[in-house]
Amino acid sequence: MLPRRRFLLLILLLAPLAWSSTLLAAQDEATALVKRTSERMLETLQARRAEVDRNPSLIYGMIESIVAPHFDFERITQGALGQYWRQANPAQQRQLVDGFKQVLVRTYARSLLSYSGQEIRYLPVKPGSRPSTVTVSTEVREAGSSPIPVDYRMYNSGGGWKVYDVVINNASLVGNYRSSFANEVRQGGVDGLIGKLSDMNRKGQG
C-alpha cells in the first residue's frame, strides 16, 4: 500500500488529468449535439422536400421540433438587448423573446430552403471565454466558393448544451441586432421594439 503522503501526491497529480478528460468529454458532447441536430434537420428536409416545395410553411414546424429546443432564445434575446433588457417587465420580456424567436426561425428557414447539398465540416471545439461554455466551429463548403465559417456558442447549465449565439463569417447574430434594438428602445421604448418585431414578422422580414 502506498504511504499516505505518496497517495495524496498521486491524487493531486491525477486530478487535473481527470478534470481535463471530463472537460474534453463535455466539449465532444456539444459538437455531437450540433452535428446530430444539423444532420437530422437536413435529412428531414430532404425526405419531405416535395411537400416543403408545395407548402414552404411546413419548414417552421420542423425547425420548432428539431432545432429550436437546443437554442436558449431568452438568453439570445437578453444578449441582443443588453442593458435594455432590465427595462422590460416580465410580460414585455416574454413578448420580446417570442417576437425575436419568430424573426430568427424565419431567417433560418430561408437559409434552409436555399440549401442544395453544401458540405458541413465540423472543426475542433474550442473552450469558451466563460466557465461551462464552448464554441463549436463548423464550415459550410460549396464547390468553387470559399468555406463559410459558422460557430455555435454554447453553454451547459447542467441540463444539457444550449446555443446562445451564432457567429457567421465572424459576425455575431446577437451583436448584429444589438445596435438596432438599442435604437428602437431609445426611440420608442420597450413597447416600440415589441411593435417593431411584430411588424417584421407580419411582413416576413429578417
Residues 6+ apart with CB under 8 A from 139: 120, 121, 123, 147, 148, 149, 150
The pLDDT value recorded for residue 88 is 97
| Residue 5's pLDDT band (cuts 50, 70, 90) | low
CA–CA–CA angle 188, 82, 149 (5° rounding): 115
pLDDT digits (tens, 9 = 90+) for 110-145: 888 888 888 899 998 888 878 889 999 999 988 888
The pLDDT value recorded for residue 21 is 43
| Length of the chain as a residue count | 206
CA atoms within 13 A on the CB side of 84: 23
The pLDDT value recorded for residue 195 is 96
Averaged pLDDT for residues 150-173: 91
Averaged pLDDT for residues 6-28: 49
pTM score over 0.85: no
Phi, psi dihedrals of residue 155, rounded to the nearest 5°? -135, 160
Q: Coil, strand or helix: which one is 7? A: helix
pLDDT digits (tens, 9 = 90+) for 42-72: 999 999 999 999 999 999 999 999 999 999 9
The pLDDT value recorded for residue 11 is 43
For the chain, the structural domain boundaries read 30-203
Is residue 92 predicted with pLDDT exceeding 90? Answer: yes
Answer yes or no: CATH 3.10.450.710 is held by domain 30-203. yes
The pLDDT value recorded for residue 24 is 54
What does pLDDT average to over the chain?
A: 86
Residues 6+ apart with CB under 8 A from 163: 70, 71, 72, 76, 152, 153, 154
Is residue 161 predicted with pLDDT exceeding 90? Answer: yes
| Residue 74's pLDDT band (cuts 50, 70, 90) | very high
